[in-house]
Amino acid sequence: MTSGPLRERRWGQLMLALYRDGRQAEALDAFGRLRQILAQDLGVDPGAELRHLHQVILQQSPRLAWHPQPRPTAGRGYFGRGHEMSRLLRRFNDAAAGQGGVVLLAGEPGIGKSHALQQLADAARAGSAIVLAGRCVEGAWAPPFRPFAEVIAGYGELVSPRQLRADLGLAGPALTRIAPRLCELLPDLTPPSALQPDEEQFRLLDAAAQFFMAVSARTAVLLVLDDLQWADAGTAMMLRHVARSCGHRRLLLAGAYRTTETATPDLLGDALGAMQAETECTVIRLRPLGPRRSGSWWRRGGAPVSSSLAEAIAAHTGGNRSSPRR
Ligand SMILES: Nc1ncnc2c1ncn2[C@@H]1O[C@H](COP(=O)(O)OP(=O)(O)O)[C@@H](O)[C@H]1O
Ligand SMILES: [Mg+2]
């Protein structure tokens, strides 16, 4: 909220999340804070949508109850993948009801993994879950734990300093090691004294797990981690550690990785094997779309595509719009 106090949508999400967590007074307080900021900075009132939300929170309207989204949001321009999206959403709804775990999308580049994660994130947000997203990047120059650092710093930007401090709890100082942005958001937070490397590592993994547990104790959380094929050793370890503590929490860890790229050593493969043994972990394999779906996809551009042309395109691309068969 600090970087964008005027973003009303985020304030709305915060108010709703607080209310659904049984903290009506804090939800109303958030509205009061926004009204004050807007009045000071722009001399205007909050928009009609937020004023309405304020009213229904005051009235404790039953319409504010959490409603999981049982069906995929078949938005315009989205084709096929109904089955996979249903599985993803079902998994998220279970997590939102306290049966947390891990779901992973696997497939070749361009097959639609990131797109499906995005759809899931949109549905989770629409159900008022907190969505935290990070991704791995290719190359040895990327800092270790990069996606988790992105997620933790991103959360810091989303909530008030007071909320951030409460959620970090005792884990705060250790997490500044991978997310130094926390020290800017909470200037009184200081990195802890150094330990032996293995103790240091354990403290960090544990701090991350504590933090995600604290946030998911208040509200449903979707943790999205993309491009895991490029996970560094620290990220793979943290993934496994956080996954292990998801069990009875309102936390779904949703990741995606390419099946065509395997690093040496296979850090992700090792973490995957361990997660499947230790956690409720589902792997969904995205396969190429058939000619009918590929046809709809290409017709989206407005061009007439006959079924024979759709078949030819599907054969050429292997049902993957982004990568023609070589
Ligand atoms: N089911 C789908 N319907 C419409 N467009 C899609 C679908 N799946 C993927 N796309 C589009 O195809 C491209 C590649 O998808 P992306 O999700 O980035 O692939 P991946 O993450 O597997 O490499 C993107 O432009 C995306 O918007
Ligand atoms: Mg992708």
Is-contact 66 127, C-beta < 8 A?
A: yes
Residue 282, classed as helix, strand or coil, is strand
In this structure, what DSSP letter does residue 45 have? P
Q: Which residues contact 142 (CB under 8 A, 6 or more apart)?
A: 136, 230, 232
Please give the pLDDT value at position 161: 93
Residue 259 lies in a domain: yes
Residue 183 lies in a domain: yes
Six-digit token pair at 88?
A: 């993803």
- Ligand 1: atom nearest CA of 78 is 3
Is-contact 164 257, C-beta < 8 A?
A: no
Residue 71 lies in a domain: no
> Are 55 and 106 found together in one domain?
no
Residue 224, classed as helix, strand or coil, is strand
More confident residue, 193 or 68: 193
pLDDT in tens, 138-168: 877 778 899 999 999 999 998 999 999 999 9
Q: Which residues contact 166 (CB under 8 A, 6 or more apart)?
A: 214
Quote the CA–CA distance of 44 and 159 in Å, as a whole number.
23
Alpha carbon nearest to ligand 1 atom 26, residue: 115
> Are 192 and 54 found together in one domain?
no
Domain extent, residue 300, equals: 288-326
Residue 307 has pLDDT above 70, yes or no: no
Is-contact 249 98, C-beta < 8 A?
A: yes
> Are 29 and 167 found together in one domain?
no
Please give the pLDDT value at position 288: 86
Give me the number of domains the chain comprises.
3
> Are 241 and 145 found together in one domain?
yes
Residue 73 lies in a domain: no
Residue 246 has pLDDT above 70, yes or no: yes
Ligand in nearest proximity to the CA of 118: 1
Ligand in nearest proximity to the CA of 113: 1
7-28 as b/e: b if 16+ CB within 10 A: ebebbbbbbbbbbbeeebebbb
Please give the pLDDT value at position 212: 97
Ligand in nearest proximity to the CA of 116: 1
Name residue 241's amino acid. Answer: H
Where residue 168 sits, what CATH number does that domain have? 3.40.50.300
Ligand 2 center from residue 226 Cα (angstroms) = 7
Q: Left (φ > 0), alpha (ψ -120 to 50) or beta: where does 80 sit?
A: left
Ligand 2 center from residue 118 Cα (angstroms) = 10
> Are 197 and 306 found together in one domain?
no
Comparing CA positions, the residue from 295, 252, 293 lying closest to residue 97 is: 252
- Measured in degrees and rounded to the nearest 5, phi and psi for residue 285 equal -90, 120
Residue 175 lies in a domain: yes
For all residues of the chain together, what is the average pLDDT?
84
> Are 59 and 200 found together in one domain?
no
Residue 324 has pLDDT above 60, yes or no: no
Please give the pLDDT value at position 145: 94
> Are 281 and 163 found together in one domain?
yes
pLDDT in tens, 247-284: 889 999 999 999 987 666 688 888 998 998 999 999 99
In this structure, what DSSP letter does residue 63 have? G
What ranges make up the beta strands (E) of 189-249?
Answer: 221-226
Is-contact 236 205, C-beta < 8 A?
A: no
251: which strand partners?
221
> Are 216 and 239 found together in one domain?
yes
Ligand 1 center from residue 112 Cα (angstroms) = 4
User: What's the average model confidence in pLDDT over 189-217?
Assistant: 93
Residue 18 lies in a domain: yes
Comparing CA positions, the residue from 222, 218, 255, 258 lying closest to residue 240 is: 255
Ligand 2 center from residue 109 Cα (angstroms) = 7
In this prediction, residue 80 has a pLDDT band, given cuts at 50, 70 and 90, of confident
Ligand in nearest proximity to the CA of 115: 1
> Are 184 and 223 found together in one domain?
yes
In this prediction, residue 3 has a pLDDT band, given cuts at 50, 70 and 90, of very low
Residue 74 lies in a domain: no
Residue 2 lies in a domain: no
> Are 138 and 201 found together in one domain?
yes
Ligand 1 center from residue 321 Cα (angstroms) = 8
Is-contact 190 173, C-beta < 8 A?
A: yes
Alpha carbon nearest to ligand 1 atom 7, residue: 112
- Report the 10 Å Cβ neighbour count for 138: 11
> Are 19 and 99 found together in one domain?
no
The reported pTM is 0.72
> Are 138 and 215 found together in one domain?
yes
194-222 as b/e: b if 16+ CB within 10 A: eeeeeeebebbbebbbbbbbebbebbbbb
Test site for ligand 1: of 79, 84, 88, 115, most ligand atoms within 8 A of the Cβ: 115
Q: Residues enclosing ligand 1, CB less than 6 A?
A: 77-81, 107, 109-115, 297, 321-322
Please give the pLDDT value at position 267: 84
